[in-house]
Chains A and B, each alone.
Chain A
């Protein structure tokens, strides 16, 4: 599904990705681990074409994501759900509106929005927060809302960039369980983290990055740095 071909990203004074080549198959749950600055976030930004590579190519199925025009890029992003460490919710919109916005972006009708949003909020246990603004919710609730927004359009891929970074162990566990459930339903998940507990509880493929390079790619789901 995703193919990185000798991808490098060099900023003025640092190398974020250094000749990365890897493949992620459809339906996989891939965890990317590494210290801060190892290149995990740059890796996810490459898939979303939020950053351009200094060298190499990134493919989403057969599409070279960095060759896409604006409209095509919008379409591609509609096939990917994204969850961030700092949630990146729309602060002046309620929980309902945050999810409705993602549905409106893909052209869903008002009727579909009205029927699907309460359902997905129920899935992430936020039914009682439907008309709350993000700043009226806890960190765990905000992250669950971000996941609800990411999955609402049934994307083919979920990118979760340090989704548990700001959460306590209980909320971390809940988020990981939700991501596992999403993966069980057939959605590919790419999770970046430096939380050992998360990796060990997922028990799936783990890619370790150091200074922008892939130093380990193991199927056994163990956190080793």
Chain B
């Protein structure tokens, strides 16, 4: 069995070497397919980075009434943190709120003057809640609105929850994000399917050239595996070489994008490429080998009827 396997591997390498231009053409097409896959991985990274940046800008603020006891706010904060939808909760007390307000309006003299006129701090404390998903803000807001079992009397200290003011924006953003993710997935799927079809047909053409020889091999008594094996190894070699070529080509390409397009994309593609190199390498290599071997397997099967 080991001998058979060794012979199959050796034959695959020899066939690849002797294939010359046909092997080169197949490697080129697999390289194009793998480049599409790599480009899509990077595009997905840009898309997710942008979506996350937008998501990060969305939050819900709960304003408390002036003089609401801090101990009760802290109980509410800890109960919010227990919610599975909540990613982060930050508390700002009324003093800090006033300081921030003054800083924000330092050039707005009438406002500052009005504030001084009042004398006491008219601002209540507030807590800022970030959800794990944009779609989860509604349930958090509803939790806050209800006088729930966790925090008895919480609703009496809440002045307002700005979710309902932001609802329209959040809903629209939510729709855009989920639409962008779905569209991204569909485009990725479509491009990958097209690339696979093109690769499969190219490999099928390279095997078509050997169609008659496949029949001869069978007639001289070679088993199906002995005939098919070298073609599958050859397919895997296409995948391995194409992976190397693709990753080498993407090195200067991502470096250029990193240098010139970081502001536009919001993400330094080159840094992303380098820091995720082994992950990308594994995905591309696996895709290349699977694509090459399965295409060869299917293409040879057609001529292996007997």
Whether A78 pairs with B221 at a CB distance below 8 angstroms is yes
Whether B218 pairs with A77 at a CB distance below 8 angstroms is yes
Whether A77 pairs with B220 at a CB distance below 8 angstroms is yes
Interface size on A, residues (CB 8 A): 27
Contact A49/B306 with A92-B15, A104-B226 known, Cβ cut-off 8 Å: yes
Whether A92 pairs with B18 at a CB distance below 8 angstroms is yes
Q: Within 8 Å of chain B (Cβ to Cβ): is A48?
A: yes
Q: Which residues of B contact A105 (CB under 8 A)?
A: 217, 220-223, 226
B70 CB → nearest A CB, Å: 81
Q: Within 8 Å of chain A (Cβ to Cβ): is B248?
A: no
Which of B7, B18, B222 is the one whose CB lies under 8 Å from A74?
B222
Q: Which residue of the partner chain B has the closest CB to A87?
A: B216
Contact A77/B3 with A49-B306, A92-B18, A105-B226 known, Cβ cut-off 8 Å: no
B153 CB → nearest A CB, Å: 80
Q: Which residue of the partner chain A has the closest CB to B223?
A: A74
Interface size on B, residues (CB 8 A): 21
Q: Within 8 Å of chain A (Cβ to Cβ): is B224?
A: yes
Q: Which residues of A contact B14 (CB under 8 A)?
A: 92
Whether A70 pairs with B224 at a CB distance below 8 angstroms is yes
Q: Within 8 Å of chain B (Cβ to Cβ): is A167?
A: no
B231 CB → nearest A CB, Å: 12
Q: Within 8 Å of chain B (Cβ to Cβ): is A218?
A: no
Indicate with 1 or 0, residue by residue over B213-243, a CB within 8 angstroms of chain A CB atoms: 1001111111110100000000000000000
Interface residues of B in 5-55 (CB under 8 A from A): 7, 14-15, 18-19
Whether B220 pairs with A91 at a CB distance below 8 angstroms is no
A86 CB → nearest B CB, Å: 9
Whether B223 pairs with A149 at a CB distance below 8 angstroms is no
Interface residues of B in 256-306 (CB under 8 A from A): 306
A96 CB → nearest B CB, Å: 12
Interface residues of A in 63-104 (CB under 8 A from B): 70-71, 73-75, 77-78, 80, 82, 88-92, 101-102, 104
Which of A49, A82, A110 is the one whose CB lies under 8 Å from B220?
A82
Q: A209 CA to B209 CA in the complex, in Å? A: 34
Whether A74 pairs with B216 at a CB distance below 8 angstroms is no
B228 CB → nearest A CB, Å: 12
Which of B213, B218, B222, B306 is the one whose CB lies under 8 Å from A91?
B213
Contact A77/B219 with A50-B306, A88-B212 known, Cβ cut-off 8 Å: yes
Contact A82/B219 with A50-B306, A70-B224, A105-B226 known, Cβ cut-off 8 Å: yes
Q: Which residues of B contact A48 (CB under 8 A)?
A: 219
Q: Which residue of the partner chain B has the closest CB to A48?
A: B219
Q: Which residues of A contact B222 (CB under 8 A)?
A: 74, 101, 104-105
Q: A78 CA to B223 CA in the complex, in Å? A: 10
Q: Which residues of A contact B220 (CB under 8 A)?
A: 77, 82, 101-102, 105, 149
Q: A185 CA to B231 CA in the complex, in Å? A: 38
B5 CB → nearest A CB, Å: 12
Q: A90 CA to B225 CA in the complex, in Å? A: 17
Q: Which residues of B contact A90 (CB under 8 A)?
A: 213, 216-217
Q: Which residue of the partner chain A has the closest CB to B18?
A: A92
Whether B221 pairs with A109 at a CB distance below 8 angstroms is no
Q: A106 CA to B224 CA in the complex, in Å? A: 13
Q: Which residues of A contact B306 (CB under 8 A)?
A: 49-50, 73
Whether B221 pairs with A106 at a CB distance below 8 angstroms is yes
A88 CB → nearest B CB, Å: 4
Q: A177 CA to B216 CA in the complex, in Å? A: 25
Q: Which residues of A contact B15 (CB under 8 A)?
A: 92
Whether B223 pairs with A101 at a CB distance below 8 angstroms is no
Indicate with 1 or 0, residue by residue over A15-41, a CB within 8 angstroms of chain B CB atoms: 000000000000000000000000000
The interface of chain B, by Cβ under 8 A from chain A, is 3-4, 7, 14-15, 18-19, 210, 212-213, 216-224, 226, 306
Q: List 11 A-B contacts (CB under 8 A).
A: A48-B219, A50-B219, A71-B223, A78-B221, A92-B14, A92-B18, A92-B19, A104-B7, A104-B222, A105-B222, A107-B4
Q: Which 8 residue pairs are nearest across A and B when measured between Cβ atoms?
A: A78-B221, A105-B222, A77-B221, A105-B221, A88-B216, A102-B220, A92-B18, A74-B223
In addition to A88-B212, A104-B7, A110-B3, 4 A-B residue pairs with Cβ atoms within 8 Å of each other are: A90-B217, A92-B15, A101-B222, A106-B221
The interface of chain A, by Cβ under 8 A from chain B, is 48-50, 70-71, 73-75, 77-78, 80, 82, 88-92, 101-102, 104-107, 109-110, 149, 153
